[in-house]
Amino acid sequence: MIRYLRLLLFPFSILYGMVIIFRNKLYDLGLLKSTQFNLPVICVGNLVVGGSGKSPVTEYLVRLLDGHKIAILSRGYGRQTKGFILADQTATAQSIGDEPMQFYNKFPNITVAVCEDRVKGINLLKDNHDLILLDDAYQHRSVKPGLSILLFEYQKLQNPQFLLPAGNLRESFYGYKRADVLMVTKGPEELKRTERSKCSQKFNPKPNQLIAFSYITYGNLKHLFSEETKPCNAIHENTEVFLITGIANPLPLVNHLKGYSANIQHHDYPDHHRFSKQNIQNLVNAFNSTTGKEKIIITTEKDAQRLLDITFKELLLNLPIFYLSIEIDLQKEDKVTFDQKILNYVSSTTRNR
């Protein structure tokens, strides 16, 4: 069915691709304006619709660049507001988006802001910060970042990909040539030489382009409403897991949890899904209908930002609901080179240049 649908939509993908190529060419020739700034601006993006691990990579950069006055600027996908907003104590996932809310809750010493117009957003932030991290802005070509990190999900890189609407590519795969760093995400922690080579052969990198491979590391389970934490190995084969997600690719998380319990009931929703009260009631009903003593509700850190909505608190407050935090790390042979490239860029880019 999917194959026939793609064939039906393929002519529209060709038309879409021609429009995107023409637009990019206008920027390349300088016929459309691309603004460059005199402070470090690092863009983290991807070519596809959906998650490739942008949030964990952005958080990795925040930790790497600790000591600088950092601002994260995002569009705030899924928010119910418009314009430039600085995250503060009144912010919610509805007002700024789930990913910016996650950054704000996780890093109290940095600035988090949202704005559809990235040029306007940077102009409002630049005087009070040392550097700007642009979340999901690779196709936002009105800004010319000083350094771009383009992400490719390991599993999807192995398969054919198509332009919208037949596939999920926002632009041609060859858009990677604009990036400074090509990072393959969500790969195996133990990456074989043959697997690394197979992925690298997808690209024809320029001499100054770095290819790096990363993988997910999972932290502890953290209670949604309290300070309680527990390790993942608190889950065992007799534990009934009720998993609720609204992310692009929950498969790595599902596979991780299966390492502890095969008894998983997955309430799976689309990326950035705006949970309804009925969605949560269905989860609670399923949880209450099981008779097992060992049971737990688990969600992702991003989804947790939306589940904190006051509408759901009454339903979830007294339940064992935890979110699982994740980070990324780089393969040993890439980590030093990647870190040094970022640090060198930030230290060499001053407001006088």
CATH at residue 202:
3.40.50.300
| Whether residues 162 and 256 fall in one domain | no
Same structural domain, 50 and 133: yes
Sign of CA dihedral 142, 248, 79, 68: negative
Residues 274, 222, single domain; the answer is: yes
Summarised one tens digit per residue, pLDDT across range 141-180 is 999 999 999 999 999 998 888 999 999 999 999 999 999 9
CATH of the domain at 299: 3.40.640.10
- What SS3 class is residue 105? helix
Same domain for 178 and 59, yes or no, is: yes
305 neighbors 101 (Cβ within 8 angstroms): yes
Domain contains 353: no
Look at residue 256 and tell me if it is in a domain: yes
pLDDT band at 351 (very low <50, low <70, confident <90, very high): low
Q: Which tokens hold the place of 116? A: 């559809």
CA distance 331 to 170: 28
Cβ pair 300, 324 in contact under 8 A? yes
Structural domain boundaries, residue 76? 34-217+329-348
> Does 151 share its domain with 225?
no
The pLDDT tens digits for 68-124 are 999 999 999 989 999 999 999 999 999 999 999 999 999 999 999 999 999 999 999
Question: Which of 137-141, 144-148, 294-298, 349-353 is the least confident region?
Answer: 349-353
| Token code pair at residue 49 | 């619709």
Q: CA torsion, points 231, 234, 237, 240, in degrees to nearest 10?
A: -100
**Residues 149 and 53 occupy one common structural domain:** yes
pLDDT value, residue 293: 81
What pLDDT is recorded for position 350? 67
Residue 353 has pLDDT above 90, yes or no: no
Cα diameter, the chain = 66
Distances (CA, A) of 138 to 27, 30, 52, 146, 325: 13, 17, 13, 12, 25
For the stretch 162-182, what's the b/e string if a residue is b when 16 or more beta carbons lie within 10 angstroms of its beta carbon?
ebbbbbebbbebebbebbbbb
Segment 257-283 mean pLDDT: 96
